Amino acid sequence: MYKKQKYRQKSVVEKWYPIANLLSAGKIKKIYSQRMGIEAMFKDYKTGAYNLESAKANETRLNNLILLIAISYTISSFQGQKIKNKGVQKYRSRTHEKSRKKRRKSSFSVGLSRIYSAINDDFIWELVANLMILNPHKL
């Protein structure tokens, strides 16, 4: 059973019947969930965090961009998985849906938000230090 995401406060339950030549239902589920992970990755590449679809680049530049995105995606995913393994995801990525217990964010999203927050923290502390230099008498 698969429950689609809500659209206009309505969700639909769909039954999926995957057909495969594997013997075990567990193997089928594992392989299909890996496929869904790849689909999510392509979505992140094209229209998500990297917005590759709107990058108007020639072939060489596009290849270089895809290589950088692959490296960035890998780092973000590892960082997110590390956060999930530590059990601190609930502090890093809060859900906005009151009824939802399980986090919806992927390891990539969790890792990317961690990297963004690290960059912002450094920027903010640098800004505070510069402001303190401007008014040393207020320390």
Full domain range(s) for residue 84 = 21-94+104-138
Does 133 reside within a domain?
A: yes
The model's pLDDT over 31-69, given as tens digits with 9 standing for 90+, comes to 877 777 777 777 777 776 677 777 777 888 888 888 888
Predicted TM-score (pTM) of the model is 0.51
Q: Which residues contact 89 (CB under 8 A, 6 or more apart)?
A: 83, 103, 105, 110
- Could you tell me if residue 60 is inside a domain? yes
Q: What is the pLDDT of residues 73-108, one digit of tens each?
A: 888 888 888 887 887 766 555 555 566 556 566 777
The whole-angstrom separation of Cα 100 and Cα 5 is: 12
| Residue 123 resides in a domain | yes
SS3 100: coil
- The CA-to-CA distance between both ends of the chain, in Å, stands at 61
pLDDT at 12: 58
Q: Is residue 14 in a domain?
A: no
Structural domain tally of the chain? 1
In a domain, 99, yes or no: no
Note whether residue 42 is domain-resident: yes
pLDDT above 70: residue 27? yes
